[in-house]
Structure 1
Amino acid sequence: MLTTILAAAAPHAENPYGLQAALREGGIIAQSVFGIMVIMLFFSLYILFTKLFEQQKIIAQARRVRASFWSAASLREGAAKLEKNSAYRQIVEDGLAAQEQHSRLTDPVEAHDWLHNSLARSEADILSQLKKGLSFLATVGSTAPFIGLFGTVIGIIRALVKIGSSGQASIDAVAGPVGEALIMTAVGLAVAVPAVLAFNWLQARNKKISEDLSAFSNDILGYLASNGAVRPAAAKGAPAKAAAATTTKG
């Protein structure tokens, strides 16, 4: 009984085939490969969470636009209801600015084309901000397995060198380098797979945001081109309902 307790309380011996042992045995190359992988993983997670935060803000802004924007009497009044740095407010303000600039053009340009290009430029600027960093995720997803493979090749070379120097392919001679090689492969995949999944997920969310921004931009274009006569179908009844409620109260 006492022997069992002492054995349990004694510190466990370090695993000779674990990660720390593999990094020590692999030397500067294995340590460098592992360090690069850790840096890649850190920045991949940082980009994932920051982009999710940015996307969620715009999705929340879209809900507020659908709830209250088109019930306003004018675009300026509706924009005032939105956050100062809202992507949707930026589109509205850029559209209003383009409308004012069109009257000052010396070279005749169709108002529709001028407004459409201005709104498209504003939308592209917003999407460009959302896409920043995604190229890094794509790069990590495509290069991390090969960086891990480099560590794997070095580990196999070390195993072959040990076999050649010892003259026998005993498991004791090759277990360490082969274990190091397999660990580098696993680390490369562990970094690459989350990066690829994050890239695809963020891209899909950006596509949905792009569709919402494009629809809103088209609604703004219709409003500006018709001097307010054309509004989204969901918002057409809003002023009438508000007027009916006011008449009822009176």
Structure 2
Amino acid sequence: MEPTNTLGFGHFIAQSDAVGKTLLGILIVMSVVSWALIALKGITALVRNRRSTAFLDFFWNARSLDAVQHEIATHGARDPFSHLTAHSMHAQAHHAKHGAARLAEAGSANDFITRTIKKVLDEETTRLESGLTTLATVGATAPFVGLFGTVWGVYHALVAIGMSGSGTLDKVAGPVGEALIMTGIGLAVAIPAVMAYNAFTRSNRVLTARLDAFAYELHSFLTLGEAPGAGAQQSASASVRPLKPAASAA
């Protein structure tokens, strides 16, 4: 009779066939890839947020767009907001110098800047979403891979028990309990991936909303030379009149 204390993860791996070991290897690869993505995207998000905050503070305290352009030329575009600003200002200068010389530059300066802003926003959204598909795939499939390993292990355990002709509890519970290890490993791989995916998705959604709002402000600066609504606020402060009901038709 085999001692009970030999049962466990090591015994389960030693008794597994090629299919069981392959499934375990797949789960290990999934875990390594997901944790690498979590670490990489987490560090990238921290650096990006710090640089974005620093650039926005400089942008809103700058005296002119020329100062912003000089800052970008000196330190480079290292975050989504400076990247958007650099391309938008370059589009404005390019259209003012060369005009609509190509189909890609067709339309007014306003149209060209708008297309440039939309293109940069799409690029930043694509960059933010990179790696999320892998995390979602790991979170969705890892439990099923582990369940497959459990079913496969239970099948072989029951076949071995049937061939031995002994159906006592110690002969059944041990191998079946070992097979459940694969389900536990699958869940351990999936849970961090799902949590990280949800966290990164929310962070990207917040950053995208901030970037859209900044793009609107930047477009107004480049095309109107002032913040949106600034002219209306100045005229309203100069002369504020009470609203009157519309005159009824005669």
* TM-score, normalised by the number of residues in structure 2: 0.80
> Residues 220 and 178 of structure 1: is their aligned pair in 2 closer, same or farther, counting only changes over 3 Å?
same
Which residue does 2:14 correspond to in 1? 24
Amino acid at match of 1:88: F
**Offset of residue 191 of structure 1:** 0.5
**1:20-169 aligned within 5 A:** 20-81=10-71, 83-84=75-76, 85-103=78-96, 104-106=99-101, 108-169=106-167
**Offset of residue 96 of structure 1:** 1.3
**Offset of residue 192 of structure 1:** 0.7
**Offset of residue 182 of structure 1:** 0.5
Q: How many residues align?
A: 221
Q: Residue 75 of structure 1 contacts residue 92 of structure 1 at CA under 8 Å; is this kept in 2?
A: no
> Residues 186 and 77 of structure 1: is their aligned pair in 2 closer, same or farther, counting only changes over 3 Å?
same
Superposed CA offset, 1:50-79 (max 9, x none)? 111221222112321332212223324224
Superposed CA offset, 1:37-59 (max 9, x none)? 11111111111111112212221
Structure-2 separation of matches of 1:232 and 1:89: 23
User: Which is further off, 63-72 or 31-40?
Assistant: 63-72
**Offset of residue 15 of structure 1:** 4.2
Q: Residue 151 of structure 1 contacts residue 184 of structure 1 at CA under 8 Å; is this kept in 2?
A: yes
Amino acid at match of 1:161: V
Q: Residue 87 of structure 1 contacts residue 126 of structure 1 at CA under 8 Å; is this kept in 2?
A: yes
Superposed CA offset, 1:134-175 (max 9, x none)? 100000011101110110111111122023212232233333
Superposed CA offset, 1:99-142 (max 9, x none)? 13334214651433321221121122122112111100000011
Q: Residue 48 of structure 2 contacts residue 79 of structure 2 at CA under 8 Å; is this kept in 1?
A: yes
Which residue does 2:226 correspond to in 1? 229
Secondary structure at the aligned position of 1:217 is classed as helix
Structure-1 separation of matches of 2:69 and 2:165: 79
Amino acid at match of 1:20: G
> Residues 195 and 15 of structure 1: is their aligned pair in 2 closer, same or farther, counting only changes over 3 Å?
farther
User: Which is further off, 49-58 or 66-75?
Assistant: 66-75
Structure-2 separation of matches of 1:14 and 1:219: 71
Amino acid at match of 1:25: Q
**1:190-229 aligned within 5 A:** 190-226=188-224, 228-229=225-226
Q: Residue 62 of structure 1 contacts residue 212 of structure 1 at CA under 8 Å; is this kept in 2?
A: no
Structure-1 separation of matches of 2:205 and 2:24: 34
Unpaired stretches in structure 1, ≥5 consecutive residues? 1-12, 234-250
Identity of aligned residues (%): 33
Q: Residue 69 of structure 1 contacts residue 79 of structure 1 at CA under 8 Å; is this kept in 2?
A: no
- How much is the aligned-residue C-alpha RMSD, in angstroms? 2.4
Superposed CA offset, 1:186-240 (max 9, x none)? 00011011111110000001111111111111111010011x222798xxxxxxx
Unpaired stretches in structure 2, ≥5 consecutive residues? 231-250
- Tell me which of the two structures has the higher relative contact order, counting C-alpha pairs closer than 8 angstroms and 6 or more residues apart: 1
> Residues 15 and 132 of structure 1: is their aligned pair in 2 closer, same or farther, counting only changes over 3 Å?
farther
Q: Residue 56 of structure 2 contacts residue 81 of structure 2 at CA under 8 Å; is this kept in 1?
A: no
* TM-score, normalised by the number of residues in structure 1: 0.80
